[in-house]
Structure 1
Amino acid sequence: MSSPDGRAAAVRRLEETAVGSPALRRLAELVVRLLGASAARISLLGDAETVVSGAGLAPGLVGAQTPAGASLAALAATGDGPLVVGDAAQDPRTAALPLVVEGRVGACLGLPLAGFDGSAVGALVVTDRHARTWTDGDVALARQMADSVATELELSALAREFEAHRLRFELAIDAAEIGSFDWDLVSGRLIWDDRLVELFGYDRETFAETIEAFNARLHPDDLPRVSEALRTAIDVCGAYDAEYRIVLPSGENRWIRARGKAVADDRGTAIRLLGAAYDTTEQRDADARVARVLETMTAAFFSLDRDFRFSYVNAEAERLLAATREELIGGSIWELFPDAVDSDFELHYRGAMTDGRTRVFEAYYPAPLDAWYEVRAWPGPDGLSVYFHDITERRLAEERAQRSAARLALIADVTSILSRTMGPGEAEDAALQQVAQAVVPLLGDWVVASLVDEEGRIRDVGSWHVDPALREPAERYAALRLSSLDSSAPFPTALRTGRALEVDDLRPAVAHVLHGPVGELFELLAPRSAVVFPLRARGRTLGALSVYRGHDRPPMDGQEVSTAREVADRTALALDNSRLYEQHRRLSETLQRSMLTAPPEPDHAEIVVRYHPAIQAAEIGGDWYDAFLQPSGAAVLVIGDVVGHDTEAAAVMGQLRGLLRGIAYRDGVGPAAVLTELDRAIHGLQMHALATAAIARVEQTPEERAAGLTRLRWSNAGHPPPLLLHPDGSIDVLDRDRPELMLGVDPTAERTETVVTVRRGSTLLLYTDGLVEGRGLLLDEGIARLRDAVAELADRPLAELCDAVIERLRPDVLQDDVALVAIRLHPQDRPRPPEAGPRIVPPDVPAEP
């Protein structure tokens, strides 16, 4: 446990790099999106809470501080586990906090953020404006996000510390002033520039420009060595390199470093020696200071001579290289560290020595060091200076962050796949196949997806292998394995218990059942470990995901198992929703067929009905149509709309439709009387229903038949007005100046009816408001659009006209049910037209004369 002062310093160090971090902001945005929350904040806790990043926060909150006593983050960081609050206003831990009192937080989920020593330095807090229930999956996902945030905080702090080390070291490097010399070996004249004359304590009058003047300043102990170096360079026409002391007239000793090269004539005889020299006294002193710095600094440093032998090693390098300087100095790096041969180390060290350019790189050295290093190698006259830093923790933090991000991306991808592809039947198989492909290779090398159908039969529906060459054998294994497994195998056990089953060594668990072709395929695929995740939702096991790993990968760790379980849970829920939807759809279809019957087809009259639900899952709602014949043969058309939607409205609709049929079936009962009696029945039977309806009856006398005429008698209870299409293409809207009340409002309301005489060939269209009303579309505008569409489509057969009208007028996403019933009165002086279809009427209805 760190001290309070140490913890405060750690928090301050994290704040310096964390406030406004783009990476932290992206993590906050991701957790808000995955959890469907209002906001997320990442806070560090010192003397107060400092919000360093977040998503969905008020402007100016990032960087702001809040007293610890009023902080959700402090509450999350000091608890024994996650802070899970579904209703913040009712929870005694949070009810008095300002954010809750002000109504900005209705629910919260908080996870502590661990520092370098494991103590909590802050918290990730996810909030919602309204109360909500946080699921176990939400908590697990938030915990993964908190781990990613803590990793990112560690990573940024380590990177800052490393950069500071490197800057301190580079500031220790200085340059020296340089002077030049030119010794004419034929004449013996030694020419120095002003800087060199000054360095040796001469002036132009006292410097004799001879080698003797040079030797006169040399320290007696260094004269033989320097003379030998000069003689060797002249004899071989080669390089001259020496460092020596000089004694100035004042008696002061100075260190000089000189380098040069002999120049030969055409015969190969040296005639000149050119070079440069500079004062290294301060460098010598600095080297001593640098050596002291290098011995105490936390960064590792060593130098190599031009033969790649260690010439200096500081204390930190001894520690990181796990060897003493006595073992290292004088030894070849390639012999002492053989795994560096043919690695990035050799590539960059030799490259820097060859081209004289500094190399900066990252590389891994295997056991016994087993570490990642960031290396800076710069060449010099004496060899190579190497500064390096152990970045294993940083690399591990990066890898953890990458793996965490990849796991979160996988969950998001699977969610997208399921929302896009999940459906009944073959769509389930296709969705499971895509899920299997998404899981590989992040969670396993090989996945088999299985389903349990509604009859309890198990089948493998998908598989995927990371190796393309093994995908076909994996499919064949999936096709054979179920018949070979007994109840003790991992797969049946997991299905039976409903719990994930981890098997670190798969062979002993299944060896007794793997024989013949399935055993040969198992040997070829060679899995080492497996985890079977049952697909369970709402207490039912719907299938399983079997995730396998080969011998080159360890078994799943806890975070990987948690991620795979989240994938399995989301897959199971989508699968169960799909099956429930299919059950609902089949039930709705059955209800629709029972309530919305096919219309009759009397002589010379063609009746077409259409129904389109607003929501695909509920295939019937409150809209209805009806068409039937009274005993006399008169056709009655009904259109209605119950106030409300979905199953409740459908039930009321079924009752009203049955009542209306019973009332209207009698001969002599007109549309107004039918609506009056239906209104009284609604009141008397206490149905508590509100509905609109329009009824039309087709009537004709022998005289009207002879004249090619027909009467339409209609009444309307608050419903959109019918449309009447005449044979000449003109259209009337059968409306009244004063609309009558809808059904269910006043049982004593007076109902009236209107009669209109039309020519044969006319078409009457009754419809519900879903066809002419919608978001941003008023009723009158919708009726005008309908009228225009009917006029344009008037010459089409009736069925085509109805389909085209609905297709043209209804919005892309239907906001309300649409019901439609239309009758076309074909001329009676010729046979019934073929497009009207066969005559279909009840057996007791008389034929037309």
Structure 2
Amino acid sequence: MDRHLFALTEGSLADLMPTVMHGEPGAVLLVGVVDGLVHYANPVAEQLAPGVQLPCLVDDWSRAAQLQAADGSPLDHPELGLATNPLSRIAKGRPVNGERISAARGSDMSNAREALWVIGIPFEEGVTEALVGMALVVLLPVRELHDAAGKRDELRGAAERLHSRAVVASDLSFTISDPNTPDNPLVWVNPAFERVTGYGTEMLGQNCRFLQGPDTDPAGVQRIREALAKGETVTELLLNYRKDGSAFWNEVVISPVRDSTGHITHHVGVQSDVTVRVHAERERDEALAAARSARGRLEFLSGVADTLSAELDPRTAQDLLPSLVVPDLAHWAFATLVDHDGSHRSRGGFVVRAAHSDPALSGSALRFAENASVLTSQSLTVRVLQGRTGPTLLPTIADDALTSGVADEHGRRQLRELGLGSAIVVPLRARGEIIGALTLLSGPHRRPFDDEDLLTAADLGARAGLALENARLYAQQRRSNETLQLAMLSTPRSGSGLEVVTRYVPAGEVAQVGGDWYDAFPLPDGSTVVVIGDVMGHDVSAAAAMGQLRTLVRGIAYDRACSPDEVLRRMDHALEGLGVSSLATVVIMQISPAEGGENVLRWCTAGHLPPLVREADGSVTALQGVGFILGLGLGGVERRQHERILAPGSTVLLYTDGLVERRDEPMDVRLAELREVVTGFDDALPLDELCDEMLRRMLPHGNDDDVAIVGVRTS
């Protein structure tokens, strides 16, 4: 191939040429160039041609190894008088600079083949007597690279020729040493050895340790010694030194060569300068380490942010923040937060939370947090909190910084006890505002913080600040909505002889006003009206509709002293006439005193869940009732009223569906569970405790919907 063609195709040739795997153990033979016999074979060569007794003819050994040309054709064509077997040429004293062949994989008689690269070097003068008239044969494994689609045949042929030349001119060197001579000296080296190391035949008679230097790994050298002592092939990567003192990475494969009796006669070494590969692998490893570090940093930041974001109570979120960065990022840490509700004015308007990695110092960290007003306006924490400086790294905390930043000696003593080292202070930001500062201390026994830690902490400050602010805003919205909701619910009142208790628990998911409501008020005739209802929806519209319905029920029931069924009939007409389209379920009860201390209970249901009555003897009854829900425009529909006697000591329980409705359980199962819970209460349990216990037992993991409860007990 001429130089011009090589220039045009050099990049493509790299894709076509096979890769000789120097690091893999090779088969080593010693072949007589006069008798054509294979005299010695190492264990790898024995595996290629199992069962062959040495010495044997080269052609017999080739047939036993099932050697073929690279394209799968026979190596020899006797009928044509052609001999292409490289081993046969080596046996005639002709060098083989590198050719591709293949062999059967052990005893596998299938089509599976092992690609090999054959190199044959006849020994010249100057070798030991045992090697005179011999040739060294090395068969190395090959990794085939698949041809890209559309490559020209001309290019493939050029690649074959170039690869042969490349092996001859490569840094692949061979040495032979004699383990039967003291110190296992070199007895032969090929020219490539001199090109790689700078040492030539003048080093014959010496052990190859002259290649070692100050940074050669002694453990690797020891592993080579131990393998050779056991008669095993060994591969090691060593930092060796050339004659001029320059270092290079040497991939060494040393194989023992045995005679027919199994005695080791020589060691054959294959050396390859893999400095470029090692440097490339190190650069890759460094890049991978950097990528792993970045991924770990992102996972840490995401974990902290996710944990904080999942906590909707602002006080709990504030407590969590320092503990989430200890000990992974800091020896100990404290968060200084703006006091929004004014409950910590005595501490300079700051809320401080602290955590320490040493359990023995956790109490001291909490006491420091209680005494954080000792931080002066000149302290780095306060300056960052007030926006006078940005994220800051202090490699060491000097005494003058401690003196100016802490107001008294007691506070300085506290900080020294907790451990100083280096420090990082970053702002906690949310929506453009600084809501606090996070201070990290490395402590005296950890490495000082660096710029990478500062970047991590600054990123953490942004994420944590937003999570803390979201928790605060959520709590603020929730308080506002609860205030609105409760303001729209009447304070229960009742007639004589009745105890009324109410409970309202807003949904635990998002702070929303809803449509659940209750009411209880006496009528002029001495009876008491008890109402519970649920407007469909969870928004301001549902709350507004709830307010309208509550007012209508109150007005109709009180003004006309209507019975429950009449109240619902009038409600149907009023909603239809006023154009109120909201849908709602409701139960209206009227409890009137009767003779003998008993009470008459009348009720009417509009699509609501059945109330429960717990008698004084502990029995529980569900107050069934049917009826269309309100808001369907059924002004003329009849409403059916029910009536029963309430004995003294009876308890009536009304509730909304948030108490019993669950996506993963049928409603009838939950209603049966509620009835069982109520049945199991102690007779002497006060009514307010009974209502609380209902909530606890029915909703052990919190509620996803608003819950309203009304409990009425007769005396």
What TM-score range do you get, normalising by the shorter chain?
A: 0.5 to 0.7
Question: 1:743-762 maps to which residues of 2 (within 5 A)?
Answer: 743=631, 745-746=633-634, 751=639, 753-762=641-650
Match of 1:378 in 2: 254
In the TM superposition, residue 640 of structure 1 has moved relative to its aligned partner by 0.5
Quick one: which of 531, 534, 538 aligns to 1:645? 538
- Matched residues in 1 for 2:644 and 2:9: separation? 95
In structure 2, distance between residues paired with 1:731 and 1:479: 52
What residue number does 2:610 align with? 721
Q: Retained in 2: the 8 A contact 1:344–1:363?
A: no
Q: For residue 468 of structure 2, what is the aligned residue in structure 1?
A: 575
**DSSP 3-state at the match of 1:611:** strand
| Alignment correspondent of 2:279 | 392
Question: Equivalents in 2 of 1:605, 1:819: separation in Å?
Answer: 19
Q: Do the aligned partners of residues 328 and 410 (structure 1) sit closer, same or farther apart at CA in structure 2, a change above 3 Å counting?
A: farther
Q: Does 1:296 align with 2:166?
A: no
Asked whether the equivalents of residues 352 and 377 of structure 1 are also in contact (C-alpha less than 8 Å), the reply is: no
Q: Does 1:340 align with 2:177?
A: no
Of 505, 523, 527, which residue of structure 2 is paired with 1:634? 527
Which residue matches 1:453?
338
> Cα offset for 1:486?
6.3
Q: Aligned partners of 1:651 and 1:780: how far apart in 2?
A: 31
**1:698 deviation in Å?**
1.2
Task: Give the direction of change, closer, same or farther, for the CA distance of 1:748–1:329 in structure 2 (3 Å limit).
Answer: farther
Matching of residues 715-794 of structure 1 within 5 Å: 715-727=604-616, 732-736=621-625, 739-743=627-631, 745-746=633-634, 751=639, 753-775=641-663, 777=665, 779=667, 782-787=670-675, 789-791=677-679, 793=681
User: 2 CA distance for matches of 1:679 and 1:539?
Assistant: 52
Does structure 1 retain, via aligned residues, the 8 Å contact 2:171–2:273?
Answer: no
The answer as to 2:427 corresponding to 1:427 is: no
Q: Which residue of 1 aligns with 2:70?
A: none
Matched residue of 1:536: which SS?
strand
Decide whether the 8 Å contact of 1:308 with 1:332 is kept in 2: yes
CA RMSD of aligned residues (A): 5.8
Matches within 5 A, 1:141-156: none
**Equivalent pair of 1:303/1:385 in contact (CA under 8 Å):** no
Kept after mapping to 2: 8 A contact 1:165/1:299 = no
> Using the alignment, how far apart are the partners of 2:361 and 2:246 within structure 1?
33
Contact 1:485 1:513 in 2 (8 A): yes
Code of the aligned partner of 1:282: A
Q: Which has the higher contact order (CA 8 A, sep 6+)?
A: 2
Alignment of 1:511-590 (within 5 A): 527=422, 532-545=425-438, 555-556=450-451, 566-590=459-483
Letter of the aligned partner of 1:594 in structure 2? A
Distance 1:794 1:781 in 2: 23
Q: Distance in 1 between matches of 2:479 and 2:251?
A: 68
Over residues 434-468 of structure 1, what are the superposed CA-to-partner deviations in whole Å (9 max), with x where a residue is unaligned?
A: 3323643xxxx767453322349556644668x99
Deviates more, 1:490-499 or 1:326-335: 326-335
Structure 1 Cα separation of the partners of residues 380 and 314 of structure 2: 28
The 1:374–1:643 alpha-carbon spacing in structure 2 relative to 1, beyond 3 Å, is farther
Aligned pairs for 1:809-828 within 5 A:
809=698, 812=701, 814-826=703-715
CA contact (8 A) 1:448 1:462 kept: yes
Cα separation, 2, equivalents of 1:314 and 1:512: 73
Query: CA distance change for structure 1 residues 824 and 535 in 2, over 3 Å: closer, same or farther?
Result: same
Q: Structure 1 residues 656 and 498, CA, compared in 2 at 3 Å: closer, same or farther?
A: farther
Instruction: For 1:664-683, list aligned pairs within 5 A.
Output: 664-666=557-559, 668-679=561-572, 682=575
Take 2:216 and 2:383, find their aligned partners in 1: how far apart are those partners? 51
Q: Which runs of 5+ in 1 are unaligned?
A: 14-160, 180-193, 197-251, 260-276, 827-849
The Cα shift of 1:638 comes to: 0.7
Residue 278 to residue 507, structure 1, CA distance change in 2 (3 Å): same
Post-superposition shift, 1:697? 1.3
Amino acid at match of 1:693: V
Question: Match of 1:573, SS?
Answer: helix
- The aligned amino acid for 1:339 is P
What letter matches 1:769 in structure 2?
A: D
Do 1:499 and 1:534's aligned partners in 2 also have CA atoms closer than 8 Å? yes
Counterparts of 2:307 and 2:641, CA distance in 1:
52
- Distance of aligned partners of 1:433 and 1:659 in 2 relative to their CA distance in 1, 3 Å threshold: same
Aligned pairs for 1:191-206 (under 5 A) are none
Q: TM-score, normalised by structure 1?
A: 0.53
User: Would the alpha carbon gap of residues 727 and 505 (structure 1) be closer, same or farther in structure 2, given more than 3 Å must change?
Assistant: closer
Q: Specify the code of the residue in structure 2 equivalent to 1:657.
A: R
Q: After superposition, give the CA deviation of every residue in 1:243-296 in whole Å (9 maximum; x if it has no partner).
A: xxxxxxxxx99989778xxxxxxxxxxxxxxxxx5664223999xxx9997773
Q: State the shift of 1:624 in Å.
A: 1.8
Which amino acid counterpart does residue 21 of structure 2 have in structure 1?
R
**1:17-49, CA deviations, whole angstroms, 9 ceiling, x for partnerless residues?**
xxxxxxxxxxxxxxxxxxxxxxxxxxxxxxxxx
- Equivalent position SS for 1:775: coil
Q: Contact conserved, 1:372 with 1:395, CA < 8 A, in 2?
A: no
Is contact 1:352–1:379 with CA below 8 Å preserved after alignment? Answer: no
Contact 1:663/1:674 (CA < 8 Å) preserved in 2? yes
Counterpart AA for 1:340: D
Q: Distance in 2 between matches of 1:662 and 1:374?
A: 99
Deviation at residue 496 of structure 1 after TM alignment: 1.8
Q: What is the SS of the residue equivalent to 2:214?
A: helix
Residue in structure 2 matched with residue 613 of structure 1 by the alignment: 506
Q: The residue matched to 1:376 in structure 2 has which SS?
A: strand
Aligned-partner residue type, residue 291 of structure 2: S
Counterpart amino acid of 1:389? V
Equivalent residue letter for 1:283: L
Q: What is the CA distance between 1:644 and its match in structure 2?
A: 0.6
Q: What is the DSSP-based 3-state SS (H/G/I as helix, E as strand, rest coil) of the residue aligned with 2:520?
A: strand
Deviations 1:661-708 (A, max 9, x none): 3443447343344444555555666654221211111113xxx32x34
- C-alpha displacement at 1:639, in angstroms? 0.5
Q: Match of 1:586, SS? A: helix
**From 631, 656, 660, the counterpart of 2:549:** 656
Q: Normalising by the residue count of structure 2, what TM-score does the alignment of the two structures yield?
A: 0.61
* CA distance in structure 1 between the aligned counterparts of 2:138 and 2:519, rounded to whole angstroms: 108
Aligned equivalents of 1:365 and 1:681: distance in 2? Answer: 100
Shift of 1:774: 3.3
- The answer to whether the 8 A contact 1:630-1:667 is kept is no
* Contact kept in structure 2, 1:302 and 1:314, CA below 8 Å: no
Deviation at 1:721, TM superposition (A): 3.2
Q: Percent identity?
A: 28
**2:387 alignment partner in structure 1:** 496
Asked if the contact 1:769–1:818 (Cα under 8 Å) also holds between the matched residues in 2, the reply is yes
Alignment CA distance shift 1:369-1:768 (3 Å):
farther
Q: Which whole-Å CA distance do the structure 2 matches of 1:728 and 1:468 have between them?
A: 54
* Kept after mapping to 2: 8 A contact 1:308/1:383: no
**Equivalence map 1:111-122=2 (5 Å):** none
Distance 1:675 1:601, change over 3 A: closer
1:385-413 Cα shifts (integer Å, max 9, x gaps): 65453323223323432442344244334
Going from structure 1 to structure 2, the CA distance change for 1:552 and 1:762 (only over 3 Å counts) comes to closer
Offset at residue 717 of structure 1 (A): 2.5
Q: How far has the Cα of 1:345 moved from its partner?
A: 4.5
Q: Which amino acid in 2 is paired with 1:664? A: A
- Say whether 1:712 aligns with 2:712: no
Task: Check if 1:411 corresponds to 2:287.
Answer: no
Report the secondary structure of 2:21's partner residue: helix
CA contact (8 A) 2:185 2:207 kept: yes
Q: Give the aligned partner of residue 103 of structure 1.
A: none
Change (3 A) 1:378 1:618: same
Q: Is the contact between residue 428 and residue 461 of structure 2 (CA under 8 Å) also seen in structure 1? A: yes
